[in-house]
Structure 1
């Protein structure tokens, strides 16, 4: 693979937070370890519950299940390596492994945007057109749409790494990030990567701004619909639900779009701030979304209580 673009670099080194004093290494590694475990168990609980409990086989939970699987894959393919870098000093990835990781980073990152968009559209139909919900939305349709999104996102991932593989790398191999993604790797190329960055910027904007536009529109209509009901209880419930949802959505989209924009404009932010923003929009939504979108819903809470009580009663014997 390296021979295709005449690269001399055989491996890349993940620097994590560049320039961060070593005294903070333990704090960073423990933080990533906790984030990974919270995300792992929260998303696993969601996936297992949705697989085993037939009454949860509903369109909304099918969508959430796809989001949880995507986040599980992303975190498992990225976090163990950066944890190993801070715990054991092992931050190296082979040339091939770096680009494989890059594919999944952009594949699953794009997928998350479209799954969250589908979730917003599902809630829009459920709240604004409740009488037509079951005629418009069903498990089969949602499964097909999710499959299309998985395929589309995979094509985006392949397009991104194809741009990266065309770049030659000689000498410099230290990636200022916690995982291999296009921009931190492309800047290491011995060739001007402006054209590749522009292509990546257009892909990123179309992959994230389009879903965000649908999400914003859906929530505006939802809020208007609930407010028009004139009931204070409905308004309070809508405000609480939309606020928590927008917290996750905002954490995912706003830092991401900010990073893509200043990278395209070639502005030079503080390197540690850059990595922090990337980690903020990448990992934080992965452990907050299953809690906010799924585990705090009444139906899931009742199911968890039943499973917990069933386990306790079985363990007594």
Structure 2
């Protein structure tokens, strides 16, 4: 066992990205990823800074949005710079420790997104269905405590997935057909049968996805019924448009992920399609969700506008 562990720790992993992408497109694709990363970085950082610095944004809904922005920013910063370096400079190799550290972070932040979006749905349920009791049920301290608890659960999940990946041996240079290290793409590089480990990881991922998704669907089902039974007014329109923006964010996070899980189990995935679906549910929501929240939220728009105007006149 000790010799197997030493052998694994001496190997390295090489990120392949999209195997079907011709070399002449590598620089262009690297530029595209670089732009995506910068949009995500600017958008999420702006949301985090505004919510942190502006006292009137210290409210439950904005704390939840800020927690989601932190998660997305950490994920992109952990994964995208390395893949940009791979396509620009050919430096796609990771040490055993580096790959498994990245894997732990990836499998921590993916379920964290689902948990925070579930909490967001519950927050909207209380705000729309029990508005008079909202501040007694959802307070700042309670929200902060729940967000910390969700981060803790996500960290434990990430460590468990990483442990599963370490139970099989690796050797030599392992080619990872993905933009980052995940158990699904790292596990298949082992020289033993990875099926039992990948099946356990699949069940963990499915539970982390379907558990929060069931709460999300339940919460928004009640919200929709409440909105439809209400008299149409300005508050009705506000509630409806808030739900529409949230549904879009939920869809970008959850639908592609469900497709990946189904795709993995029903047929042998075509690598480029598989990687594309993974990119769709990991990176696309990270730069769209903060933009959506800023564009649709009057309070954040007003705060951002006042900050920009103050800088313009200073």
The normalised TM-score by structure 1 is 0.94
Query: What is aligned with 1:174?
Result: 175
The Cα of 1:237 is off from its aligned counterpart by 4.8
The Cα of 1:261 is off from its aligned counterpart by 2.9
- SS state at 1:173 partner: strand
Task: Select between 241-250 and 57-66 the one with higher mean Cα deviation.
Answer: 241-250
- SS state at 2:119 partner: helix
Task: Select between 1-10 and 164-173 the one with higher mean Cα deviation.
Answer: 1-10
Change (3 A) 1:292 1:110: same
Cα separation, 2, equivalents of 1:253 and 1:75: 18
Please list, as runs of the form range in 1=range in 2, the aligned pairs for 1:173-212 lying within 5 A after superposition: 173-212=174-213
Contact 1:198 1:264 in 2 (8 A): no
Query: What is aligned with 1:34?
Result: 35
Please list, as runs of the form range in 1=range in 2, the aligned pairs for 1:123-138 lying within 5 A after superposition: 123-138=124-139
Structure 1 gaps, min length 5: none
The Cα of 1:18 is off from its aligned counterpart by 0.6
The Cα of 1:233 is off from its aligned counterpart by 5.8
Change (3 A) 1:25 1:304: same
The normalised TM-score by structure 2 is 0.94
Contact 1:12 1:93 in 2 (8 A): yes
Contact 1:120 1:219 in 2 (8 A): yes
The Cα of 1:235 is off from its aligned counterpart by 5.8
Pairwise CA RMSD of aligned residues?
1.8
Cα separation, 1, equivalents of 2:36 and 2:216: 26
Task: Select between 26-35 and 201-210 the one with higher mean Cα deviation.
Answer: 26-35
| Alignment partner of 1:75 is 2:82 | no
Query: What is aligned with 2:251?
Result: 250
Cα separation, 2, equivalents of 1:271 and 1:192: 19
Cα separation, 2, equivalents of 1:41 and 1:299: 19
Contact 1:226 1:238 in 2 (8 A): yes
Query: What is aligned with 2:273?
Result: 273
Query: What is aligned with 1:282?
Result: 282
Change (3 A) 1:8 1:112: closer
| Alignment partner of 1:301 is 2:301 | yes
